[in-house]
Structure 1
Amino acid sequence: MAAAAQTGCQPDAVQDAQPAAEAKPTTPSAVTEPTEAKPSEPAKHKHTNRLAKEASPYLQQHQHNPVDWYPWGKEAFDKAKAEDKPILLSIGYSTCHWCHVMERESFEDEATAKVMNEHFVCIKLDREERPDVDKIYMTFVQATTGGGGWPLNVWLTPELKPFYGGTYYPPVSKFGRPSFTDVLTQIGEAWKTQRKEIVESATDISQRIGESVALKAREGIKLDPAWLDKAVERFKSEYDPRYGGFGDAPKFPRPSQPLMLLRHAHRTGDQDAINMVLHTCDKMAAG
């Protein structure tokens, strides 16, 4: 019985005890060649406007906005005259923080773009490409609002005469500023109901700006030091001792202000003026 039992178990036991057969090497034909990754397809955009053909990096940043943007030029001017629409001129530059904020909040918004396209011929301008145009309309905004900066948004008649303008407009009312859509709808309505007054005002303002530019171009004009002192006192009244800078938020760097204060300090020895400039620069450097 014992032998029979041993014999009965042997075949399986021997089979398990035998060493495994040596694995055959894989033939070269069995090696899988690596496949090349297919290049990713470019992102598809819902909108592409005329700014896609422009060389300016700033204008190209706006090429996929739903706004029907035009570059500064005859095509836009002719359209405004043909359709009897005012022009919305928006000026900025590629590294402008608040320009990017306004694009994200308003120019990429479908509802806002619809209002813009319905009421205005919309023009985007790079101030680094056309500083001459920027200077004209910045002069208008500074003269009518007391401030300036970028983005610079100005509404013009089809003859390119400005009648309303400002800088950054939020999507909802805040910072003491009206919402951008409120401004758009109010100006669009005013153009329909108060056209005569708007055109007369724009003509008068344009004439005054022209006279101001001509006056600045004259040589040999001596400034009364009292005027400079009065300007410095105004800067001091608007100075922010906590965060630096001048005026209320949002603030824009305006090199003319610290430069004037430094010249004033050099002329008069005013240490307070120097301290305001240094504190402002420190806060800007700290972000």
Structure 2
Amino acid sequence: MDDTLRSLWAQRPIDLPRLGVTIIVWVAAFFAIKVSIRIFYNVFLHPLRKFPGPLVGRATHLWRAIKIQSGDLPQTVKKLHDIYGPVVRIAPDELSFIESQAWKDIYGHHGSYEMAKNPKLYSPQGKYQPDTIISADREHHTMLRRQLAHGFSERSMQAQEPVIREYVDLLMCRLEEHSNNGRNPLNMTSWFNFATFDIIGNLGFGNDFGCLEKSYYHPWVKAITHNLKNIATMRTLVHFVPSYFLYFLVQVGVLKGRKDFVNYSKDMMRKRQALEVERPDLIEGLLKKKDVLVSE
């Protein structure tokens, strides 16, 4: 009997195209049902369902993702507050507040209690993303802030004044050279950026980027802009894909701005550590605790 059944099955033709279409239809139907259930829950059953906001924003993260990628989310949210009032639901799990009291209620100190940081916002790559002073928990953040405070003390700021003055003087000289005694118009946004990043480079990494000297944007400065765009992309994708997938996109170079920014920052930090001299800069306090930071 078993041999007969196997023989009949072996003789039965398999329509691969039809089988493929059937699988695709079933998979699509499964995801359609899953998305429909999620939308129904977000609109009618979610704990934030009573807060006002655009229906598409309350139903799915897709609306917010599109607004972030287009770059006009802040302007759009401002318009929504004009319509709905001080609290607006701009995503299924996100509220926007416009009143100052909200800042104190959310981010203020409440004894031992602290509002947890949303990992999808602060650490979209999950465990693959190292902690920063922005994403660190309360204990780690306190330690980092304490070490950085040395660079922002009154004594350090006074010691940094001659360094800053040198770059201001260089800026004025470069403006005079390129303006041809005021006859040539200059893009002052670029020149102020050149001066700013050179100062940051010197005080943060012990060496400037040569922006003022060469009248151009150093690749690390360009990487900052691209990194900000990549961060926006990760903030949108994190609601639809797992964190390790975002890490993979960074590593293979799809999110190239993020990868370049991290690599340039590491190179600059290694050069700063190689100086092995005390400087009144912004990260001298961190370097004094580098062994502790690395062990963590």
State the TM-score, normalizing by the size of structure 1: 0.23
Which has more radius of gyration? 1
Greater strand proportion: 1
Task: Give the number of the structure with larger relative contact order, counting CA–CA contacts within 8 Å between residues 6 or more apart.
Answer: 2
Q: Which has the higher helix share?
A: 2
